Amino acid sequence: MKWPNFRWLAAALLVLGGCSMEHPASARTSARSSYVTPALWTVKDADTTIYLFGTVHVMKPGVDWFKGWIKSAFDGADELVLEIVEPEDQQALAATMAGTALARDGVKLSDRLNPEERGKYQAAMAANSLPWQTFEMFNPWMAGMALSVQPLGKLGYKSELGAEKTLTAAARAEGKKIGALETVEQQLGYFAGLPMEQQVKFLNATVDGLPDMESEFAKLVAHWQGGEPEKLAAEMNESLEATPELAQVLLIQRNANWAKWIKGRLAQPGTVFIAVGAGHLAGKGSVQEQLKALGIASARVKQ
C-alpha cells in the first residue's frame, strides 16, 4: 500500500477513535445478519469490575455483534464510558471542528502542496464529492480526515451503525450513566497540534492510499469481528514504529492516560463498561500494557 509511515492512520482512524465525520447515505448492502465475536477484557478488584471493549466507528448493515457475552457485560454495567460523548447537535460539532481546523496563518491548503500533490488531492476530493475549494481555509489534517471517512459511505459503511452509537442508544434507553475519557476539544487538539509537515504527509498519504482503502479497512474490520486483536495490531505495528512521534501523540500517551483513569476508577465500587477504538486495545503500548505497567492485570473474557 502507498502509505509510507502513515499507512495505518487513515484506516485506523476508524478503530483508534476520534470525532466522527458524517458521510452520505451508503449504497445498498445485504440485509443478511452475520454474528461476530469482537474481543472483550475485564479488570477487577474486590468490589469493582471494568470491562474493556474495542470498537469500530462505522459498520455495514447486518453485522450482529451486540449480543452474547458482550451484551451481558453491558447489561450488568452501571455506567458506559466512551472516548468522548459526541454532542447530539451535529452542527455544533461541525462548527467546533471547523474552528479548530481553521488555518491561522492565512495560507491556503492547496498552496501547501507541490503541483503534483495538489492535482492528485483536488482530483481525490472531487471524486469523493468533497469541494476542495471549501477546505482551502483549513489545515491539512481536516481534509485528510474527510478523505479518510467519505469513501467508506460508498462502500456500504454507515456511521450510525458504529459501535459507540449503538452502545450510547442502549445506555440511554436503560438509563445508564454515560461518561467520557476525553472531550471533543481534546481529541481535535491531537490532530491540530501535529506539525504542519506531518499534516501534509498525512493528507498526501491518505490521497495515495485511497485505491487500497477498501481492502485495508476491510482487513481491520475482519480482525475486529473475529476477535483477533493480535492480528489487528500486526496490521498497525510496523508503521507505528516508523512514526514514533505520531504514535506517541495519538495512541501511546492517550492509552497511558486511560490506564491511570482505570486505576483510579477501581477505587469506586460498581461495574463499568468502557468502549474505545479497537486499536487502543491491541499491540504495543495498548491500554492493557499500560495497566500492566501500573501493576493492574486485565483478562480476556471467553464465551
Separation CA 260–CA 17 (nearest Å): 19
Cell of 161: 451503525
Q: What is the pLDDT of residue 16?
A: 60
Report residues of the chain scoring pLDDT below 50.
1-8, 23-32
**Angle, vertex CA 253, rays to CA 295 and CA 248, nearest 5:** 125
**Angle, vertex CA 150, rays to CA 15 and CA 157, nearest 5:** 60
DSSP summary character for residue 102? B
Alpha-carbon torsion 127, 132, 135, 139, what sign? positive
Phi, psi of 266 (to 5 degrees): -65, -15
pTM: 0.88
Using DSSP's 3-state secondary structure scheme, residue 277 falls into strand
- Return the amino acid letter for 274: I
Cell of 167: 452502545
Q: What is the pLDDT of residue 98?
A: 87
Q: What is the pLDDT of residue 49?
A: 98
